[in-house]
Amino acid sequence: MEEQKQEQRLNISISDGDAFFAHETSINVNPMQVILDFKSVTPRIDLRSPKPSLSIKHNVIMLEPYHAKKMLEMFADSIKRYEKEFGKIEKPKAVEQMEKKKGKPGKAKKESAKEPVITAKAPSYFG
């Protein structure tokens, strides 16, 4: 009997990913998934090359819509608890200064009738 119990044990190996700081995040949806694309953009300096370069990494998380909705609820709860303990989350002063300098996001600049309006299509993970 003791031998059967030992045979039923399961060894689990957990592989943690690298720490990842996201500078940009995009969200794309299709009928079956919500796709979160976290991007990290890091400047690289190579003394052998006269041109600067960037290292761009992506971590993509694909969720079923139900799980995405549950994740939204968890985020909202976590933010409420954070603000209760540490105070309201405010927009950084540097972001406010940038918005004042460039104009508030979402406001359309006056376009001349000669310039065409170009709209970018969101990337699709179905090709």
Domain boundaries, the chain: 22-63, 65-101
Range from 25-39, 56-70, 100-114 carrying the lowest mean pLDDT: 100-114
**Which pLDDT score, from 0 to 100, does residue 104 have?**
66
Q: Between 110 and 55, where is the model more confident?
A: 55
**Which pLDDT score, from 0 to 100, does residue 1 have?**
54
Element (H, E) at 27: strand 24-29
Q: Residues 39-59: pLDDT tens digits?
A: 988 888 878 878 888 888 889
Neighbours of 34 (CB within 10 A): 19
* Region 58-67 average pLDDT: 94
